[in-house]
Structure 1
Amino acid sequence: MAQIVEISDVEDPRVDDFRDLSRADRRPDRPGGRGLVIAEGVVVVERLLASPYPVRALLGVRRRVEELAEATADVDVPAYVASAEVMAEIVGFHLNRGVLAVADRAPVVEPAELISRSRRLAVLEGIGDHENLGVLFRNAAALGLDGMLLGAGCSDPLYRRSVRVSMGHVLRVPFAQLEAWPGDLKMLRDNGFRVAALTPRAGSKSLRDADLDRGKVAALLGSEGPGLTDEAIDAADLAVRIPMSDDVDSLNVATAGAITFHAMSGA
């Protein structure tokens, strides 16, 4: 079980993984940092503990760490306990959720492997906003997608904010990076997928008529503002639009994703 360790010295090197998270150049989950996965709050920490990501340590106030007793019963890692004040000095801000956990990254999933074992996928292009990315992963988990493929311009799903906004579901939805964009979409077609590009452009088929709940389908979603590039749309099998009022031209990408994923489920 987790080993409870009292921390009273803010300079204690044992909690360096958690130090100064408010400073962008020091956060271990930032590009150029140490690449650690950081979970915040009891629910998200529980999901990290149940995930393939090897947990290194926990840090929290005693009450929150004790709430995780069952989840940490079979985990041999240190659980550092500190006062809220000491924890705030270590982390760099007051953490309302009261507990953090850090983990190493799991082995990378290859796109071909993820595609071969899936029937319903989301493919993302240019999703650089960490909150939108986190919500998309949460939606994908809720609506039964098999995984996510990340195309050009996507941010890191394991960035701390994405993990938090996804409520930890980014840790359970498999994802893979497509290196050649949009050429790698051919892998989907070679495995029997239809690729449906979500776009409001004229001539797109209504989502109601696109039959996305039949066969293997990959929904292609683009960034806020510009949406999908012409190259990505042209590489898809069909263009699909979500019907909406004439005075609204688009939806938030996470909202559009949720509507599309629901259509793919056939529910």
Structure 2
Amino acid sequence: MAEPITLHDPDDPRLHDYTDLTDVQLRRRREPAEGLFIAEGEKVIRRAVAAGHEMRSMLLSAKWLDVMRDVIETTPAPVYVVEPGLAEQVTGYHVHRGALASMRREPLPAVADLLRTASAPGRGEGTARRVAVFEDIVDHANVGAAFRNAAALGVDAVLLTPRCADPLYRRSVKVSMGAVFQVPWTRLESWPADIETLRSAGFTVAALCLSDRSVTLDELAARDHDRLALLFGTEGTGLTPGALAAADEHVRIPMDAGVDSLNVAAASAVAFYATRPRTA
């Protein structure tokens, strides 16, 4: 355990990881390049640590020292104590949860390896049956919410296309309540050609969309596919033509009241629940 260090200078180089957290473009450049991500709040920090992420440092206001004492005692990483005003000056926003941690990113697994080993709690290693694929979802809050849905509703793994927002960006982690640490995930490298990797692993690929050939979600669920990959696109334009052409099935969620679609996070929750495996 390292003794907490009280800092008073917002330009102290030891606070570099926490500077300008509100600048999305800056974080997109810095966090992956520097191999870090930021966990905010007691629960999220604890879940990141429990998931095996190595802590680089922690930034706390004084009142959180006792709350986080057990975490502090088990990490060799430095713990910086600052006044709330200084934390706001450094980060660019009011740190109302009072606790931040800079965590080290782990290398992402290969898609084939993830599909071979990932599984939801209780299913046992190597028995993945449900996978979510998100194409070009750029809103961090939607990504975080979708991960939380995946964790809550038994999805074994999440795959992201190259342009998807970063699940480890601070807002994604916060909205997911740390669920991004619970669901195995990785990025696809050759999209939509990677759909063939899913198919080769025995998955039926079902694209959530509005099309002339789409079946209802109830129809898809009734088939109870042994291995099913659910593919979701952006709210604005939906899935790309290439992804739609490569999918095995087109699926729609029936709507009332003249509504044609749901937010991608809401749609994913409905689809995950409806298509959960009937047998273990």
TM-score, normalising length: structure 1: 0.92
Unaligned runs of 5+ in 1: none
1:219 and 1:252 mapped to 2: Cα distance? 15
Aligned-partner Cα distance in 2 for 1:69–1:124: 38
Q: How do residues 1-267 of structure 1 correspond to structure 2 at under 5 angstroms? A: 1=1, 3-24=3-24, 26-27=26-27, 30=30, 34-117=34-117, 118-211=128-221, 213-245=224-256, 247-266=258-277
Deviation (angstroms), 1:202: 2.5
For 1:59, the aligned partner's letter is: L
Decide which structure has greater helix share: 2
Structure 1: distance between partners of 2:89 and 2:182: 31
Partner AA of 1:6 in structure 2: T
Contact 1:29 1:159 in 2 (8 A): no
Contact 1:27–1:33 under 8 Å retained in 2: no
Cα distance in 1 for partners of 2:29, 2:72 equals 23
After TM superposition, what 4+ stretches of structure 1 lie above 6 angstroms from structure 2?
A: none
2:66 aligns to what SS in structure 1?
Answer: helix
Could you tell me how far apart the structure 2 residues matched to 1:27 and 1:230 are? Answer: 31
8 A contact 2:226–2:277 mirrored in 1:
no
Structure 1 7/215 Cα, relative in aligned 2: closer, same or farther at 3 Å?
same
- For residue 70 of structure 2, give the secondary structure of its aligned residue in structure 1: coil
Q: 1:41 to 1:206 in 2, by over 3 A?
A: same
**C-alpha separation between the residues in 2 aligned to 1:151 and 1:22?**
24
Matched-pair contact (CA < 8 Å) for 1:59–1:79? yes
Which runs of no fewer than 5 residues in structure 2 stay unpaired? 118-127
Can you list the C-alpha shifts for 1:119-178, whole angstroms capped at 9, x where unaligned? Answer: 211011111111111111111111121111112431222222111111121122211111
Task: Identify if the C-alpha distance between structure 1 residues 68 and 217 changes in structure 2 by more than 3 Å, giving closer, same or farther.
Answer: same
For residues 178-227 of structure 1, give each alpha carbon's deviation from its aligned partner in whole angstroms, at most 9, with x where no partner exists: 11111111111111111111112223111111136430111000011111
How far did residue 42 of structure 1 move? Answer: 1.2
User: C-alpha distance in 1, partners of 2:246/2:162?
Assistant: 14
- Counterpart of 1:168, as a letter, is G
Shift of 1:47: 1.2
Change (3 A) 1:28 1:184: closer
Shift in alpha-carbon separation, 1:263–1:30, aligned structure 2, 3 A: farther
Q: CA separation in 2, counterparts of 1:97 and 1:72?
A: 17
Does the aligned pair in 2 maintain the 1:123–1:219 contact within 8 Å? Answer: yes
Specify the SS of the correspondent of 1:149: strand
Shift of 1:67: 1.2
Deviates more, 1:246-255 or 1:24-33: 24-33
- The change in CA–CA distance for 1:63 and 1:126 in structure 2 (over 3 A counts) is same
Residue correspondences, number: 267
Structure 2 counterpart of 1:200, one-letter code: L
Measure, in 2, the Cα distance between the counterparts of 1:16 and 1:151. Answer: 30
Measured on the aligned residues, the alpha-carbon RMSD in Å equals: 2.0
Distance verdict in 2 for CA 1:30–1:266, change over 3 Å: same
One-letter code of the match for 1:137?
Answer: F
